[in-house]
Structure 1
Amino acid sequence: MDLQLSGRVAVVTGASKGIGLAVTRTLLDEGARVVAVSRRSTPELEALGGPGLLQVSADLMDPEAPGQIVARAVEAFGGLDVLVNNAGGPPPGVALPRFSFLAPTDEDWRAMFEFNLFSVVRTVRAAIPRMLQRGGGSIVNVSSGGARQAASMNVDYNAAKAGLNNLTKALSEEFGPQGIRVNTVSPGPVRTAWWTEEGGAADIIAAQAGTDRDTVINSVAPEMMRLTTGRLVEPQEVADVIALLASPRSASTTGADFAVDSGFLKEI
């Protein structure tokens, strides 16, 4: 299916690995020109290099970064049509999960909201005027199943993502009549570095459960989270949904939330 993304300009944050890398690759394959934003590059991102890819090093904890990123996109490619706010999860230097409401400090809460909500607010604020100049666009915010599944584990992260869902609805209402669609994609646990790297979620859970990283990824986490498919989500599965929402083929889809979560959310 042609997603009609050829020649369109997209900004993807958190683009160096995991979901963001898969989104970047997918959009490039569809003919889009992509500004790939990350704190550091990776060999996998470097391998995608070509005339349609601009890599921008930026720290989204810096309030000035979002405006600079959008300016680079306009300078390089002449405008902006698609924004994928994928960067999120543990702020730099933080390891999740945390298992109790009492675990995060005030500073932990501030950092979590700065990275997972306020950085999105600033990036959207910078992007919308540029999209309006093009007659519209698509914004996809990567949220989490935890935004709708309250739990004591990662309570600060889940609260930030719940705020992101609310923000997305509000943006879709205000800017939908002007041609800008805004949606969320809510992954469950995804097989990314957050889980798989040394000191990541799998190692933390393994220490609590008295087992090893691979066992957590392959059986403990799917059972603990009651995943219907019995496995973690693959990054490409999330990227495919994001690409469809970015596409004009989704012209009547706005203010919606799409769960790509292996059956994590059980509610109607």
Structure 2
Amino acid sequence: MELNLQDKVALVTGGSKGIGLATTRTLLDEGARVVVASRTTTPELDQLAGPDLVHVPTDLTDPGAPAFAVSRAVDVFGGLDILVNNAGGPPPGVKLPRFSFLAPTDTDWRVMFEFNLFSVVRAVRAAIPVMLGRGGGAIVNVSSGNARQPAAMNVDYSAAKAGMNNLTKALSEEFGPQGIRVNTVSPGPVRTAWWTDEGGAADILATATGSNRDDLMDKIAPEMMKLTTGRLVDPQEVADVIALLVSPRSASTTGADFVVDSGFLKAV
């Protein structure tokens, strides 16, 4: 399917690995020009280097960072058509999961919301005037199935993502008539660094269940989460949905939440 993204300008936050990297690669393959905002680059991102890719090293918990990334897109490529707010999950230095509401402190809550919600608010605030000046645009906020499936685990993270879903609906209502579409994509558990890094979710859950990290990711976690497909999501599967949503092929889709979760959410 031709997505009609040739020469569109995109900003992808957290685009150096995982879902963000897969999204960056996909948008580049479709002819878009991409600005990636992340704290550091990676060898995988470096392999995509070329005239249509710019990396902006920045910490998105810094209140000025999202607007700076938007300004770089304007300076380098002349504007902004697409914003993918992908950065999220455990803030820098934080390990998840946490197993109780009582575990995170006030500081933990603030840091979680800074990374998973307030950085999105700031990026959208900076992007919308630029998009309006170009006649419209598309925003995808990467949320989580946990926003709709509360549990006694990662409560602060889930609350931040639930706020993102509400924000997305509000933005779609206000700016849809002005040509800016805003949607969410809600992944389930995705085989990314959150799980696979040393000391990450796989190791934490393996310790809690008395198993090993490979069995945890391949068998135990899918069973615990009742994943219909029996496996964690691949990042490219999420990126494909994001690419379709930012495409003009999805011109009548706004205010929607697209679930890519291996069957994690069961509710109608």
TM-score by length of 2: 1.00
Structure 2 residue 195 is the aligned partner of structure 1 residue 191: no
Structure 2 residue 224 is the aligned partner of structure 1 residue 249: no
Please give the alpha-carbon distance, in whole angstroms, between the structure 2 residues aligned to 1:119 and 1:197.
Answer: 23
Structure 1 residue matching 2:167: 3-state secondary structure: helix
Cα deviations across residues 2-57 of structure 1 (Å, max 9, x unaligned)?
A: 10000000000001100000000000000000001110000000000111001110
Q: What residue number does 1:267 align with?
A: 267
Name structure 2 gaps, 5 residues minimum. none
Please give the alpha-carbon distance, in whole angstroms, between the structure 1 residues aligned to 2:196 and 2:10.
Answer: 28
Structure 1 residue matching 2:138: 3-state secondary structure: strand
Once the two structures are superposed, the pairs formed by residues 210-221 of structure 1 within 5 Å of their partners are 210-221=210-221
Letter of the 1:16 counterpart: S
Letter of the 1:7 counterpart: D
Q: What residue number does 2:55 align with?
A: 55
Structure 1 residue matching 2:185: 3-state secondary structure: strand
State the number of aligned residues.
Answer: 268
Please give the alpha-carbon distance, in whole angstroms, between the structure 1 residues aligned to 2:107 and 2:126.
Answer: 26
Cα deviations across residues 201-246 of structure 1 (Å, max 9, x unaligned)?
A: 0000001001110011001100000000000000000000000001
Q: What residue number does 2:28 align with?
A: 28
Aligned-pair identity in percent equals 78
Letter of the 1:76 counterpart: V
Please give the alpha-carbon distance, in whole angstroms, between the structure 2 residues aligned to 1:189 and 1:65.
Answer: 27
Q: What residue number does 2:173 align with?
A: 173
Please give the alpha-carbon distance, in whole angstroms, between the structure 2 residues aligned to 1:17 and 1:216.
Answer: 22
Q: What residue number does 2:258 align with?
A: 258
Structure 2 residue 48 is the aligned partner of structure 1 residue 43: no
Q: What residue number does 1:5 align with?
A: 5
Please give the alpha-carbon distance, in whole angstroms, between the structure 2 residues aligned to 1:40 and 1:80.
Answer: 22
Please state how far the C-alpha of 1:67 moved relative to its aligned partner.
Answer: 1.0
Please state how far the C-alpha of 1:151 moved relative to its aligned partner.
Answer: 0.4
Cα deviations across residues 66-102 of structure 1 (Å, max 9, x unaligned)?
A: 1111110000000000000000000100000001000
Once the two structures are superposed, the pairs formed by residues 47-196 of structure 1 within 5 Å of their partners are 47-196=47-196
Structure 1 residue matching 2:125: 3-state secondary structure: helix
Please state how far the C-alpha of 1:59 moved relative to its aligned partner.
Answer: 0.4
Q: Give every structure 1 segment of 4 or more consecutive aligned residues whose post-TM-superposition deviation is greater than 4 Å.
A: none
Structure 2 residue 231 is the aligned partner of structure 1 residue 231: yes
Please give the alpha-carbon distance, in whole angstroms, between the structure 2 residues aligned to 1:36 and 1:65.
Answer: 12
Structure 1 residue matching 2:183: 3-state secondary structure: strand
Please give the alpha-carbon distance, in whole angstroms, between the structure 2 residues aligned to 1:212 and 1:193.
Answer: 17
Please give the alpha-carbon distance, in whole angstroms, between the structure 1 residues aligned to 2:220 and 2:201.
Answer: 12
Name structure 1 gaps, 5 residues minimum. none
Please give the alpha-carbon distance, in whole angstroms, between the structure 1 residues aligned to 2:186 and 2:24.
Answer: 18
Structure 1 residue matching 2:163: 3-state secondary structure: helix
Please give the alpha-carbon distance, in whole angstroms, between the structure 2 residues aligned to 1:90 and 1:152.
Answer: 17
Structure 2 residue matching 1:40: 3-state secondary structure: coil
Structure 2 residue matching 1:208: 3-state secondary structure: helix
Please give the alpha-carbon distance, in whole angstroms, between the structure 2 residues aligned to 1:33 and 1:68.
Answer: 17
Structure 2 residue matching 1:70: 3-state secondary structure: helix
Please give the alpha-carbon distance, in whole angstroms, between the structure 1 residues aligned to 2:242 and 2:172.
Answer: 16
Please give the alpha-carbon distance, in whole angstroms, between the structure 2 residues aligned to 1:72 and 1:66.
Answer: 10
Structure 1 residue matching 2:150: 3-state secondary structure: coil
